[in-house]
Structure 1
């Protein structure tokens, strides 16, 4: 069967697709025929699409970017059908920040946890947000560079009332615009003749914006409409491909952070946000009263968005608008930014954000069974790659997904774990896995290093799939566990799924340590989980890491036996125009 699988972007021959039907059984399966109605339908296409007054061939969800907003209920199963209507590309859909440990083939990570959705096929994802995970998320394709446009907001509504009072909410999704197409960018990044994607042309808000920021233009800025005197929950989603931004709002009082990455936090006041790719924050904003507006010069105010840590600073805008007898001007941006242009605040909100609800499960240093230090740096040889502990990981490395191999008995995690321990790094270079056993407590340290060739450094937003981790902070130089334990004293680390490994400087001596980020994780959710930099360019260039939690027995005990249609590319768990899929209901 392995010989049937072509390049990730290729079309699988028809005979390989139907072979999956031979594995089907009727045990614990439900035929998702015309009588089955999914809760949400996403159709993925590739076509010309206009953003920032530029036409670009892009991967879209339901014909737009961003795609439709999904609303799921905490603790309730939702079925999301994803159609791949493209003719020559695979796709997956990842529910960013939501754990899929009990429905392992719904995580959306190709060649790690599942086969991608073949052209002309569809997949029904079973998603049940855990209790305690009400908050702000998003979905995106996890194939190549598709996630730059194949993206949309996902909101998990609470089973119980929110601990915070507000009148209404607004979703503000940030994304990047690149003039080059996905194929051109991927080819340039992975070629021996390395070609950079170029910097982002614009940071878009809810898909709107424009390239030029110092004059009037045909493209409208995004408008966030509010009414005087109301309190709003603003849900910010960092769905950028590359951009790490600072965001502030002209003429208003402080933001009050109440959520980070899907978890309520104790309120923290701030006059700006730093949002990396993959991160989400909710803030409360008190709108101006009508009396305050009458004293103001305008009824519209600028959100000012500044890119951080890049060779050139890009400042873009959106508009907060109050109802007015005259139309809001969405064509003009200020010739001079109304707010100071921001720089990176290293360690922003580290040790400051705390969980709103009491948390007794935080692992202490004494409980840590292993510390895994993952050195991160760039290397230029025949190709330009990003390495973790000396290795890159790309979708083309495994011949079939790790989770599929695990269920088919082709991956011996006991042997992999033994090799990883013997390596002294916790890493098995044969499988390129970081294996761990159930009930271990891991301290995972991401250690930034200067590039091999020139000492260059960058900021990296690291995202963990599976259950969220405790972020225990970051700092300059080399990680010192004793010193960090002193900094943790009296704090209550928040649970996150994306946090920033800072560079602290642009260059250093090659391989010299320059910044670290540390997490603690209780290994309870068996499965194969990606942990990777969320910058799409870096992912394409190998900045992905795969953890395997538990052995074959632990995975099967958690999810039960798997029907064979999930184990074959284009198998019977993936429907198409000629047959309905046989789907396991895990919950």
Structure 2
């Protein structure tokens, strides 16, 4: 790009082997300047096979700068390899008929302007925008091609900018989930009332999906796909086609009326349902060393609207230690232990250090992080939204969600007979549209073993909310652990446009931090 900085985040991969390659500007790396390039180091470790995706982590760029990333299992460790014939990727993304620059300007301007609802939801880059008609001109329905009598591993990827999407297929209700966010699960067949897929921005699910036999098709080879947004003021409803080979395409336009009535109870889907295929060292309540309650609320500043987490508004443009100037990781390398967040101060301030604006954690801690939904303070309106919260670095154990306030005793009773899956993106739902301004209504719980030293983000994955400051930065480990890569090897990453960033006149200096990784236990 000629005008804009950019980065790439490898969504769901821990990146603990290459801390300058997580793709988070103002947190772990300098952004890539216009006209430059950067060689990312990506080293998936043994337990990181699965469905992922990559996307820009700057502004609103991820709406169009995103793509699938599939990490294959080692040949000797493919638990479901004999249960499906082929794979299909289903990447779901949003489309606005505005540019990134227009949307970002509206969100950051003192005269705040919300971008509004999406103009389309796309399947593998294809869809029909509002006001357009499938079958006319270049507008076409998205198509997923299959063959009769096969089982497919459908890899669903939520690459949306804002949308929580439900997805159903005419005459096909056999959805068996086998993986969530890169973690294999025990096979879970969706019950009768929830025979549709649901995923929000950042989530991924792998599903075993059986197609009909030739006899069952009885000559019908096109089946409608219906998908629609949920928990938004206005619904976008789109259609596609599941198309069997060997037949003549006969569905080219959308139906006049919806085929399905999909659920509005988004918060019931898969809660306390998925369990790990293998034991995953889930920490019991007795192991929790610290519980951090994070209150998420929307407030108005004059004509500007922002989001806060425990009173902290953090963006990649207006961030500390030096707003808009220095990423945390490079700042720590260049300034030594004094640049580390103050752990004691953070304990007294809702988990974050008021000087560095970062959440510190010690290796070996077991954190219980409770994300709380709070009624909007903008004009005391009390409005609520849903938030798909995403963690960089190590995955967390999702311990569930609920309406009202978090009750650890009641939730522990649910966990007594349920082993959570390791995840990286789960939803803080809204249970009603509005509540009393400032009151808490709804929570999402995580448990996290702090194992990966570095600078990692946790944030809402709705792009507009990120731009409005719904992000947190966590510094995990002490100074020696965070700066475990020697300064000599890190120097090329420490300045904007430094020698790790190439352009048309010189190649970047690239360090391979994991050349000896095979000798480690990963």
- Same fold? TM cut 0.5: yes
Q: Give the 5 Å matches for 1:77-116.
A: 86-116=1-31
| Alpha-carbon shift at residue 450 of structure 1 (Å) | 0.3
Match of 2:160 among 215, 230, 240: 240
> Alignment partner of 1:584: what SS?
coil
Partner of 1:194: 112
Contact 1:253 1:286 in 2 (8 A): no
Match of 2:93 among 166, 175, 180: 175
Provide the rounded CA distance (Å) in 2 between the counterparts of 1:372 and 1:114: 26
The unaligned stretches of length 5 or more in structure 2 are: 515-522
Contact 1:347 1:474 in 2 (8 A): no
What does the per-residue CA deviation read over 1:294-335, in whole Å, with 9 as the maximum and x for residues that have no partner? Answer: 1x6x31112211110000111111211001342353x30111
Provide the rounded CA distance (Å) in 2 between the counterparts of 1:551 and 1:112: 16
Contact 1:413 1:435 in 2 (8 A): no
> Alignment partner of 1:557: what SS?
coil
What does the per-residue CA deviation read over 1:108-147, in whole Å, with 9 as the maximum and x for residues that have no partner? Answer: 0001000011111111111011212211000000000000
* Correspondence 1:407 to 2:372: no
Provide the rounded CA distance (Å) in 1 between the counterparts of 2:407 and 2:366: 18
Match of 1:348 among 263, 266, 269: 269
Q: Give the 5 Å matches for 1:124-523.
A: 124-159=39-74, 160-164=76-80, 165-212=83-130, 216-218=135-137, 219-270=139-190, 271-294=195-218, 298-329=220-251, 331-359=252-280, 361-382=281-302, 383-396=304-317, 397-398=319-320, 399-409=325-335, 412=338, 416-423=342-349, 425-452=350-377, 453-523=380-450
| Alpha-carbon shift at residue 413 of structure 1 (Å) | 5.7
| Alpha-carbon shift at residue 215 of structure 1 (Å) | 6.1
Contact 2:186 2:274 in 1 (8 A): yes
Contact 2:91 2:156 in 1 (8 A): yes
**TM-score of the pair, normalised by structure 2:** 0.93
Provide the rounded CA distance (Å) in 2 between the counterparts of 1:150 and 1:208: 15
C-alpha change, 1:170 and 1:510, in structure 2 (3 Å) is same
Contact 2:128 2:134 in 1 (8 A): no
Contact 2:341 2:358 in 1 (8 A): no
Provide the rounded CA distance (Å) in 2 between the counterparts of 1:571 and 1:129: 26
Q: Relative to structure 2, which stretch is displaced further, 490-499 or 336-345? A: 336-345
Partner of 1:62: none
What does the per-residue CA deviation read over 1:347-395, in whole Å, with 9 as the maximum and x for residues that have no partner? Answer: 4212110011122x11111111110111001111221001101121011
> Alignment partner of 1:142: what SS?
coil
Provide the rounded CA distance (Å) in 2 between the counterparts of 1:380 and 1:358: 46
Contact 2:126 2:142 in 1 (8 A): yes
C-alpha change, 1:335 and 1:215, in structure 2 (3 Å) is farther
| Alpha-carbon shift at residue 551 of structure 1 (Å) | 1.8
What does the per-residue CA deviation read over 1:243-269, in whole Å, with 9 as the maximum and x for residues that have no partner? Answer: 001111110132000110011111111
Provide the rounded CA distance (Å) in 1 between the counterparts of 2:484 and 2:95: 44
**TM-score of the pair, normalised by structure 1:** 0.83
Provide the rounded CA distance (Å) in 1 between the counterparts of 2:486 and 2:117: 42
| Alpha-carbon shift at residue 95 of structure 1 (Å) | 0.4
The Cα RMSD (Å) is: 1.5
What does the per-residue CA deviation read over 1:202-228, in whole Å, with 9 as the maximum and x for residues that have no partner? Answer: 110000011147764331111111110
Partner of 2:517: none
What does the per-residue CA deviation read over 1:506-565, in whole Å, with 9 as the maximum and x for residues that have no partner? Answer: 100011111000101111100110100000010011111111101211112367753311
Provide the rounded CA distance (Å) in 1 between the counterparts of 2:145 and 2:250: 10
Contact 1:308 1:344 in 2 (8 A): no
Between Structure 1 and Structure 2, how many residues are aligned? 497
